[in-house]
Structure 1
Amino acid sequence: MTNQPNIASISVIIPVKNRAGLLEITLDNIFAQTLLPAQVIVVDDGSTDHLPQVIAKYEGRVTCIPNEGKGPGAARNTGLKIADTAFVKFFDSDDVMTKNCLQAQYEVLQKTGAPLVYSPYIHAIEQPDGSWLRQGAIVQYQPFPATQTLRACMAYNFFTVIPGFMFRREFLEKLGAWRTDITAYEDWDYLWRIGKLCPNPVHTNQAAMIYRLHGAQTTGAHFDNTQRDKEKVICLKDALAAAQDLSPLDKLALTNILWKTLKSLAHLPEYQAVLAQYDSPAMPFISLYLRLKNKLERLKTHSDWTTMHGVSNSEEVWGQYAKLL
């Protein structure tokens, strides 16, 4: 480790598969941070593109290793095995963050002693001139309500992206490894497990990350809606089996998400019996109530998000973030 003041005990772990061109922009963004990480670990999940040429440009600054399994969950586990820092940020090969992000999150963790911190994220498209075109609201500009737990919010379709977090290493050791049997909803499962150990994570909006919109959003593969729904069922069933910390109403809301997902798979014979386990005459009415509630919430936020997502539509706020990209 170096003692230079602009380098901190942070590892940034990035899974990648056939995204060499996108990864270069992500790495440039990381090395432009006001506080540099001690380690940048790229885990190659079987790329066949020009990844070696891109990595060569960062010789001595990036460690590139092959994935010990398959998929983004296994890649993050592989990267974590060689990370030897006190703090860890899981990042994606196609995203960027404001140039103060590592510093802002690191300082919050140092000041509060919290196990993790999360920040806003913004869907955006990169323009030919290198600028970013925002798509929709700034999500999680404010934290989710302090009166609710992370898991209780997730029961009503709350989600915030894992690359928006920074973790203490010892917290990740308690949390356990990423799931490797799924590749589209492994982040939802990870967030659910985070909610068990840390029901109310610390938040800062002094920095943000850009969730880059492009044609291949899933690491290493394209997934159709059926495959996504199948993985969603796996995660939701596991979550409900371990939902003792939810109130009866919250558990019912989570069950409704599973019921709706199973309805979308009801054309497959193997899911018809599973649907019957969660079906009831009341479920359509519960689903209607929750849909209407969400619609009213979205009207309040003037966005596609409900109030618990803490959105901001401010052009001024976006402009401040954009200056730091």
Structure 2
Amino acid sequence: MPFFSIIIPTYNRARLLQDALESVFAQELTDSEVDYEVVVVDDGSTDDTREMLARYSERVRVLRQENQGQGAARNLGIQHATGQYVVFLDSDDLWFPWTLATYRQAIDMYGGPSVVMGSQAPFQRPEELAGVRRESLRAHAFTDYLASAEEPFVRTACVIAVRTEALRRVGGFTAKRINSEDHDLLYRLGTERGFVWVEAPRVMGYRQHGGSSSKELERSYEGQCYLLEQEQLGHYPGAAARRRERLTLLLHGARHVTRWLTERGRPDLALDLYRRSLRGHLVVPRWRYLLGFPPWMVASSALRQLRR
């Protein structure tokens, strides 16, 4: 049984996927740490992904499905994972040579936590990552993910290592084609024993793509609505005793997305999301946002119209 199962979902990104795979195979590991498998899930690609992956046939296990979205692709990988921990890598992102060794160090140091989350370095061109250096491990441990609610760090499931048994226990990712499906997973993992955030070294280069399509804006709105609905239905763990921690995390995301939607010309979606989050904001009050967002949204939208 390998220690790590690396799951890479992909769709029509042959060139970027090749770069991602090369960053995995460039890992600097000792003999005792080199215990991993690579599982690529081709989510119905129509480009030359199949031909490119054929060149890695001895190093990569390839699973294929009709196009169903990233959540379903990751779930297929989880079903077939044989490692103790699953590590996710998106096919347009890059690892540093020390990524797996850092995850392993944190896991060993903190007694096998359920979730280890790393830090990322944003980039648009790979050469921008040249200045990122391997630092000494600097990590913060919590009893579980919800216990980290007040900590101000970027949270995403594309930079985590998770116990495979915990992933399967909570059902993996939602198969809905929404943004924030990674946050939904993290909330469902919220009370699994042991969470570690690795502040340094950074373990992933996160590729930033220019622009935001109309579909992406709508998926972000739909994702936030889904998260709020799941909380209202009681689908996240921790019951009433952990509600404040869950809302702290959920509402931070909702506030960010309402501002983002407004700045990109969708105040209608922003206002509806603001309305949907009001009940939660009365439990975890953020008065500056509650009172200030509506007039800011109106002013921002008016200024956007003037600039056209």
TM-score where L is the length of structure 1: 0.68
Aligned-residue identity in percent:
25
Aligned residues: 273
Partner residue of 2:286?
286
Select 1:231's aligned residue among 223, 230, 238.
223
Partner residue of 2:129?
132
Cα distance per residue 1:69-103 (max 9 Å; x no partner): 71111111101111112221111101112211112
User: Structure 1: 5+ residue runs without aligned partners?
Assistant: 2-7, 136-140, 293-325
User: Is the CA contact (8 Å cut-off) linking 2:141 and 2:195 kept in structure 1?
Assistant: no
Structure 1 counterpart SS, 2:286 = helix
Select 1:10's aligned residue among 4, 27, 32.
4
Partner residue of 1:34?
28
Structure 2 CA distance for aligned equivalents of residues 281 and 95 of structure 1: 34
Select 2:162's aligned residue among 131, 144, 167.
167
Structure 2 CA distance for aligned equivalents of residues 91 and 113 of structure 1: 21
2:44 is matched by which residue type in structure 1?
G
Structure 2 counterpart SS, 1:224 = helix
Structure 2 CA distance for aligned equivalents of residues 29 and 260 of structure 1: 31
Structure 1 counterpart SS, 2:189 = helix
Select 2:60's aligned residue among 45, 59, 62.
62
User: Is the CA contact (8 Å cut-off) linking 2:44 and 2:67 kept in structure 1?
Assistant: no
Deviation of residue 121 (structure 1)? Answer: 1.0
Q: Alpha carbons of 1:158 and 1:51: their partners in 2 closer, same or farther (altered >3 Å)? A: same
Structure 1 counterpart SS, 2:107 = helix
User: Is the CA contact (8 Å cut-off) linking 2:144 and 2:191 kept in structure 1?
Assistant: no
Structure 2 counterpart SS, 1:181 = coil
User: Is the CA contact (8 Å cut-off) linking 2:115 and 2:195 kept in structure 1?
Assistant: no
1:14 is matched by which residue type in structure 2?
I
Partner residue of 1:310?
none
1:196 is matched by which residue type in structure 2?
T
Which segment drifts farther, 225-234 or 247-256? 247-256
Greater share of residues in helix? 2
Structure 1 counterpart SS, 2:226 = helix
Cα distance per residue 1:230-289 (max 9 Å; x no partner): 221111221344462446597478558658968978847xx59x9379469979x83416
Cα distance per residue 1:79-136 (max 9 Å; x no partner): 1111112221111101112211112212332342222322221111225xx453789x
User: Structure 2: 5+ residue runs without aligned partners?
Assistant: 293-308
Deviation of residue 59 (structure 1)? Answer: 1.7
Pairwise CA RMSD? 4.1
User: Is the CA contact (8 Å cut-off) linking 2:14 and 2:47 kept in structure 1?
Assistant: yes
User: Is the CA contact (8 Å cut-off) linking 2:220 and 2:257 kept in structure 1?
Assistant: no
Structure 2 CA distance for aligned equivalents of residues 34 and 71 of structure 1: 32
Deviation of residue 11 (structure 1)? Answer: 1.0
User: Is the CA contact (8 Å cut-off) linking 1:125 and 1:133 kept in structure 2?
Assistant: no
Partner residue of 2:306?
none
Partner residue of 1:117?
116
